[in-house]
Amino acid sequence: MPVEIAYLTDFAIVVVGATLIGVIAQKLKQPTIVAYILTGVILGPVLFDIVTEEGLVEVMAELGLGFLLFLLGLKFRFKDIKEILRPIINISVGQTVLQTALAFAIAWVLGFTLIEVVIIALATVFGATPIIVKILTDKEEITTLPGKIDVGVLIVQDIYLVIVLALLGAENLANPNEIALSLGQIFLLISAVGLASIASSRYLLPKLFKRIADQKDIFFIIALSWAFLFIYISEFFDLSIEVGAFLAGLSLAQLPYSDELQDRMKPLTDFFILVFFSSIGLQIAADELFYYWFEAVVASIVLVVGNFWIMFYLIWRENFSIETSFLGSVNMIQVSEFSLVVGALALQQGFIEAEILGYLSLMALITMSASTYVINYNREIYKEVEHLFSVFDSPGRKDTEIREYRNHAVVVGYDELAEAVVPLLKKEYPEVVVVDRQTDNIDLLKKQDHEYIYGDFKHTEVRKAVNLKYADFVFSSSEQIDVNKQILEEVKPETICVFEASNSNDAEKLREVGADLVVIPKELSGEMMGEYLKMYIKNRSHFNEIIQRDLNRIKGETDGY
């Protein structure tokens, strides 16, 4: 069989296998990343040895890792953690030092060599970003204070990860002078590329994306090209592609278009995440995965317990409440998938043997699987043990107020009716946020000093950004019935929903599924819309009489055509 055909066959087998095992994992409420690693284990040398092309594995791993780091950079928005930046930095620095020391001590006691101990310590300090973010998002806890603390720490860890990956590109880790020189070069180059990334996000990218944001296909391609540009620059300066990919994502994350961009990039990055973690499993042999099985089990138990208490102490020391300290800690107990990223690169560079990657893989599988259940039931666990933690309580502990949209109004699209509605809503609700994907409208919203988010409301990331589930009022100028039905599915039962529709049939369908008011723009002026809303908010019974009269008139006119 020609090499090209063999590559394609193996690639297809990996993708189909990972998809099937991923579906099973989701039904068992296990992280899909664990499923992808298991796919490689099952299809590779550990079990059936079906996929054997080494060239394919290398290409898959490199592409997957680059896109994984690009996605993480794309999620790094400085504004998300600015309210608690100082505590997060303190917690992150302490966590990095203490958890690295703990991992170092465990590996040393378990009898590994010095270079293996260093790699293991560097590899096991990270939290599982995709798992933590996914579960907390599903539980609607990502915007809570513990969620913000965890995300902030994960972001700092991502920067640390980029430095570690760059450090592992050094030719000799056994020589202190070589390490110092490599670190100096790494910091200098990363600083230079990082400054270029931040400068471009402030001066170049806003102008560029403003021009092309309304063109959906070009919008996606430019973002992808930006990632490859920074990968090329990093390669040119002998940095890893991970550094370039992360910094490319970082610069794009600061744009007002980042929520929309994340959603457009998500299918591609999800695919390459599947590819990368499957490739990790493909590189493990059975005797390598279980070679240090006893040490992996012992280390997993000690690290889970130790990581919890380290994080609890650090959060508690910043004077947060006991509940916040507990929840922020219990979410971060696992050995992350990034231990495999670091381990795979260390193996590639010849710093460790394959058995050490197997040891790291087994720890990741054990702790990530266990932590999935712990995070899912974190609040229930806290209620059971709350009395035991009362000893840590003290007067004056107070959680930082996190700015987030709550009890607010959301306006979808900015047409003439919406322009008339927004000033009225500002008088009735503490915050009003407008979502629109027309750059001309965004400029207008800026001039009118309205709060806005750029994006298509069909996209999950955009709906999350406006905290739709906690809105008290939603006005949608979109006449797409599927968009408005999606809104009704996600809002609270008591949320007032006012929609536009293109015809009376669509209006009737929306009323049947729970819309409070549906208007047909052809029949209404912006001024009348404002009067309707005033009437609805102040006297609903009178409003119902008036609106029914108008609807009967409109229906009668429509039937007469």
Model confidence at 554, pLDDT cuts 50, 70, 90, reads very low
Please determine, for residue 507, whether its predicted confidence score (pLDDT) is greater than 70: yes
Select from 487, 540, 427, 523 the least CA-distant residue to 498: 487
Model confidence at 301, pLDDT cuts 50, 70, 90, reads very high
Highest mean pLDDT among 3-17, 89-103, 221-235: 89-103
Contacting residues for 82 by C-beta, under 8 A, at least 6 apart:
none
- In the block, residue with structure tokens 């490599």: 182
Q: Give the pLDDT confidence score for residue 513 in this predicted structure.
A: 83
Instruction: Give the burial string for 534-544 (b: 16+ CB within 10 Å, else e).
Output: ebbbeeeeebe
Please determine, for residue 561, whether its predicted confidence score (pLDDT) is greater than 50: no
Select from 126, 76, 128 the least CA-distant residue to 96: 126
Mean of per-residue pLDDT scores for the chain: 76
How far apart, in whole angstroms, are the C-alpha atoms of residue 458 and residue 358? 42
Please determine, for residue 558, whether its predicted confidence score (pLDDT) is greater than 50: no
Lowest mean pLDDT among 380-394, 397-411, 496-510: 397-411
Average pLDDT for residues 42-68, to the nearest whole number?
A: 67
- Choice between 20 and 558, residue whose per-residue pLDDT is larger: 20
Q: Give the pLDDT confidence score for residue 387 in this predicted structure.
A: 85
Instruction: Give me the amino acid identity at 23.
Output: V
